[in-house]
Structure 1
Amino acid sequence: MNKVILIGNLTKDPELRYTPNGVAVCTFTIAVNRQRTNQAGERETDYINIVAWQKTADNCASYLRKGRQAAIEGRMQTRSYDNKEGKKVYVTEVVAENVQFLGSSRPHSEQENDQDQERRANHSSNNKGNNDPFGDPFSQAGKPINISDDDLPF
């Protein structure tokens, strides 16, 4: 049985190319953290090459970007070729059969802005006609607040 399931973050934007017959092929690398730490107490990371074909390749090129998290299901493949010096080079990679795009494709700051706007909209719709003695907690959004370390619960 040859089945691989990985979850990791892209180390760079995917590269989309086409074979001479016009078949899409997309390559990228994901960083996958190991479950256990090494003897120094540090978590090590494996960098795994992924190759996707046809429609999966098109989708990966369209929706994945550096830093985006993805779940890859596929099979391990080893191939070889002779390089310019005539030496045989072996390549091990995962051929993606199913790719799930995890997280959001938008930058983190845009996600936060959308979440803030959604909270404001929910708060104002929930408090229409309500005389909240503390006022709108989001009315000063984006402005610094004056709070001491003693007020923080952590």
Structure 2
Amino acid sequence: MFNKVVLIGNLTRDIEMRYGQSGTAIGSSAIAVTRKFSVNGEKREETCFVDITFFGRQAEVANQYLSKGSKLLVEGRLKFDQWTDQNGQNRSKHSVQIENMEMLGNNQNGANNFTPNNYAETQSYDPYTNENSKKPAQKTPNQNQEKIREIDVDAYDSDDSDLPF
């Protein structure tokens, strides 16, 4: 079986941090993902709101550098939660547990002011690797290093009418 979710969108609220009994950082937020499409020549869009959860060092980095409105790409797995509310009603929801993230662009309040080279090791979380086998890479700043060009994902027209499926 395969359970993989990839989303690009904006945070709908600041990250709420808490710590588990073992001291592991847990960050919760939500991401708004907008799909643009055309129906009979009329352009429309629909927005989907998805709860997301970060763990460990990635939660701390996300809390430090992301805020409401920050644009990011997240990869993770879909999780189904069930519980009984205060009124005795059975409730459920899907959420995404983040395994990898990429901070995209800057928002108006400058919350994404980070240097990718300094935080490359902390932006990814792979639950399948043995933490003891990871050795942090020693990165030395290089003045001649080419800057990474930012891609504006909103600039692409997402007219799906040409797709064969």
- TM-score range (shorter-chain normalised) is 0.5 to 0.7
Partner residue of 2:72?
70
Partner residue of 1:17?
18
Name which one, 1 or 2, has greater alpha-carbon Rg. 1
Q: Matched residues in 2 for 1:71 and 1:77: separation?
A: 18
Q: 1:93 aligns with which of 92, 95, 100?
A: 95
Partner residue of 1:7?
8
* TM-score in terms of structure 1 length: 0.64
Share of identical aligned residues, percent?
Answer: 33
Q: Matched residues in 2 for 1:46 and 1:37: separation?
A: 17
Q: Which one-letter code corresponds to 2:51 in the other structure?
A: N
Gapped regions of structure 2 (runs ≥ 5)? 114-165
Question: CA separation of 1:37/1:26 partners in 2, compared to 1, >3 Å: closer, same or farther?
Answer: farther
Larger deviation, residues 15-24 vs 99-108: 99-108
1:2-54 Cα offsets, whole Å, 9 max, x none, are 11111001111111111233221111111111142467632111111101111
Gapped regions of structure 1 (runs ≥ 5)? 112-154
Q: Matched residues in 1 for 2:32 and 2:38: separation?
A: 16
- The structure in which a higher percent of residues are helix is 1
CA contact (8 A) 1:63 1:105 kept: no
Q: Matched residues in 2 for 1:38 and 1:26: separation?
A: 38
Query: What do you get for the CA RMSD once the two structures are aligned?
Result: 2.1
CA contact (8 A) 2:31 2:50 kept: yes
Partner residue of 1:52?
54
* TM-score in terms of structure 2 length: 0.60
Superposed counterparts of 1:55-134, under 5 Å: 55-104=57-106, 107=109
The count of residues paired between Structure 1 and Structure 2 equals 109
CA contact (8 A) 2:36 2:43 kept: no
Q: Which one-letter code corresponds to 1:18 in the other structure?
A: Y
Q: Matched residues in 2 for 1:89 and 1:53: separation?
A: 24
Question: CA separation of 1:93/1:37 partners in 2, compared to 1, >3 Å: closer, same or farther?
Answer: farther
Q: Matched residues in 2 for 1:95 and 1:46: separation?
A: 17
1:112-132 Cα offsets, whole Å, 9 max, x none, are xxxxxxxxxxxxxxxxxxxxx
